[in-house]
Structure 1
């Protein structure tokens, strides 16, 4: 995720920290037992969510080997965190990821656009990194997923592929947090509308945003959208 910390590099972006959202948008009441942290990077979100659900089992997915080493070092010190060095999508195989060496959270399976490079110049420098790609539904069968389950997706434009490859698993989730770009930051990226339709069909309803990133002119660049399981009746 592109955090407030980017401001120290001289860029005009702003976010509202998770800790300031009272009740975590009602998610705290779910008493979550399992968290799927998809696009975990070094475990920034995982550290936060453990303060909200300290008894939950976390499964963190991070494809970049260099970043995964840092994630694994932290996860190995935790009682209920398992880290997996894999990317998630709607197919399986080995693919090249665009690794942004100067800011790894913006790395993606999709190429960046000029809009992203103009907004965050540090992402211009990137190189291909081979990673393993799997489907969430295939991996989930190997995990002990105890409900209620919370899924978080931070995959830089690849959200629709992750959702399609994990529909059976996501249909077991009580809520999803999905970071999505409003600006066209990645080639062939999923739009918020795409994500909304996919999750709506999977039984979720949009419940608001945990955070939003703003450009210098006040435009919303990206957001962390909350989707909760639609109540029947």
Structure 2
């Protein structure tokens, strides 16, 4: 094998290690193999365009947004939500799989079931799962209150805005983009001017959409089919269809669900007005403790984060693997041991170094 073939194989394997976003392998002046690894979950990941370029993406600006929302701001891991060892997680509205990557990085023992109805976006989800070697099980349909096939408007330029055609509110989406940029410029981290300019430019575009017929199913039908006995966490981001998703859970299955982390649309002077109250009342009726937050970068957009936890879940004997603000450092020794189980001895790097950024590769000689 050539040096490039060797380093490529090691780098591809390292990207499958929970917590590693990107890797670069090279030889030092003594001829030793050195692996440099960049962990997920820092703003340096967003700045290092190579990380996101290695993903199958729809649009780089929205991919940066998704990364920061999920990995940096940990929006689905707030309100007391935790990930326990061997957790079962339903990812409703999986998009390209960023949340699946997050679960793999923070709770590698978890079983993830990811749902994405739009074919083009589902294909990217499949690529990212396959490239990283994730154990996530993916389903090319969405979840709703009943079995049906409905029309979706898919926006290739900004896929996260895609939704059922009858739930479209494009004026609100444009306002969301503008408010997000304004909020981030005022209180967000430094060094993101180029990214915010790209996002802001989206608001001025005349978006083209493609109409797709997509399948929707009730969650209870899926629970019966996959045979899970408990669900530790349901994450829902379904573009105004979140209440439909909850209504697809039959009474007999509610006791199986321990936590829910969801985005809820409650937009003034629209069909979603009052939705937070509606969802909260349903979850309280089903026995959950519920809290509502407004994500700082989405303040004023009509998007709310709703967290529901079943009383008594804190007594679950399984250890908590991940909670907000408690990410574990990538340890070189543990990474080396993990590689030893997956690579020939001569391919295991002599040294592993955790870095804040990665150099670009040298051109082939």
Quick check: 1:92 aligned with 2:147? yes
Quick check: 1:227 aligned with 2:311? no
* Gapped regions of structure 1 (runs ≥ 5): 10-14
Q: What does the per-residue CA deviation read over 1:93-117, in whole Å, with 9 as the maximum and x for residues that have no partner?
A: 2110121221111111112252323
Q: How far off is 1:34 after superposition?
A: 0.3
Separation (CA, whole Å) in 2 of partners of 1:123 and 1:201: 43
Q: How far off is 1:171 after superposition?
A: 3.4
Quick check: 1:66 aligned with 2:147? no
Pair 185,155 (structure 1): closer, same or farther in 2 beyond 3 Å? farther
Pair 144,56 (structure 1): closer, same or farther in 2 beyond 3 Å? farther
Kept in 2: contact 1:90–1:162 (CA 8 A): yes
Residue of structure 1 aligned with 2:222, choices 139, 150, 159: 139
Q: How far off is 1:19 after superposition?
A: 3.9
Secondary structure at the aligned position of 1:152 is classed as strand
Pair 194,125 (structure 1): closer, same or farther in 2 beyond 3 Å? farther
State the superposition RMSD in angstroms: 3.3
Kept in 2: contact 1:21–1:210 (CA 8 A): no
* Gapped regions of structure 2 (runs ≥ 5): 1-42, 47-58, 63-67, 178-202, 314-365
Q: How far off is 1:187 after superposition?
A: 4.8
Secondary structure at the aligned position of 1:142 is classed as helix
| Rg larger in structure | 2
Pair 92,186 (structure 1): closer, same or farther in 2 beyond 3 Å? farther
Normalising to structure 2: TM-score of the pair?
Answer: 0.53
The equivalent residue for 1:54 is 108
Q: How far off is 1:21 after superposition?
A: 5.4
Q: How far off is 1:18 after superposition?
A: 4.8
Residue of structure 1 aligned with 2:240, choices 130, 136, 157: 157
Separation (CA, whole Å) in 2 of partners of 1:33 and 1:71: 21
Pair 32,147 (structure 1): closer, same or farther in 2 beyond 3 Å? farther
Separation (CA, whole Å) in 2 of partners of 1:225 and 1:117: 23
Instruction: Give the alignment of 1:15-26 within 5 angstroms.
Output: 18-20=71-73, 24-25=77-78, 26=80
Instruction: Give the alignment of 1:107-118 within 5 angstroms.
Output: 107-109=162-164, 110-118=167-175
- Count, aligned residues: 221
Secondary structure at the aligned position of 1:102 is classed as coil
Separation (CA, whole Å) in 2 of partners of 1:72 and 1:20: 25
Separation (CA, whole Å) in 2 of partners of 1:153 and 1:50: 18
